[in-house]
Structure 1
């Protein structure tokens, strides 16, 4: 396995001070993530998993993150490795773009409705990875996408971005609606947490003086 990070990206996402480019290559997958936290919601996602691409677009659009993800993987086996490694690499890129996490609001929360589905997300860019996952998805698949992979995506992202993430399903029966509302609520919560707090823009948002 190899991980490569650079301030220079060969892809088309415009860069700011809070940007990152990460490539993760294993025997199973090759994933490139380029992101700009101070973006406009520009997204180019090509993972080979169409439903995952759709969800990545939700993260970019509702999080106002410019995001480009390109992945190739062993999809002939199943989607698991590619889905997980996209989550890992996106988490690594988020951590790199944030650096010491000075100035951010740190906490974010949002409740997203999508028709009958209602999903609550609360998160903390704490430096301590933890996932509380409360979705009850009734079907095994949405299209060809295995709905068990939603949890695996967030496990990977949480562990490598080092955030605390709580996902709670308040209502919903349609699997597509539940999953999409989850990604939208996550995106809006992340947007809130990553915005700069002008009252302490040069300080780490912790009474300890560090986030870990």
Structure 2
């Protein structure tokens, strides 16, 4: 019974800390900084003179791919892209991992093994999604330039732009018992037919 009361108190304290105004402010800050970053980097990149052929050797029209088309030295643009990548990739990833370290420490204090397992299951799926996104995005934007990085950049870009978002629903829904059972039946049926 003590655990239930403690759980209710924690939920109420979280509700008090995370009120609607703060939530809206955080969402607005994310949208404004993301939009501002896009406009800033796009403006700097589109001011560069381009060389023939005007063919982007990439899946997406991203800043690193556009910088390779330029006829002038792009060191300053690459430096700004690196700084922005550190700001928008490494700092949030560090904050997320730090907060999960605190969460892990709090979960370890839960007395019941079932409670700990449930908490780690919830955190585990989120950490997988975070790792997929931040791992691939960080390697895409913070990789040192090399002759082989051109094709690797395409693969990583494809992974973080298409594959990782497609895996998100699967990762989150596999925590649901009914979905797990349906997935097991599907896998069994596929392997029995073949």
Q: Please report the TM-score for the alignment, with normalisation by the length of structure 1.
A: 0.25
Bigger Rg over Cα: 2
Structure whose residues are more often strand by fraction: 1
Which structure has more helix as a fraction of its residues? 2
Q: Which has the higher contact order (CA 8 A, sep 6+)?
A: 1
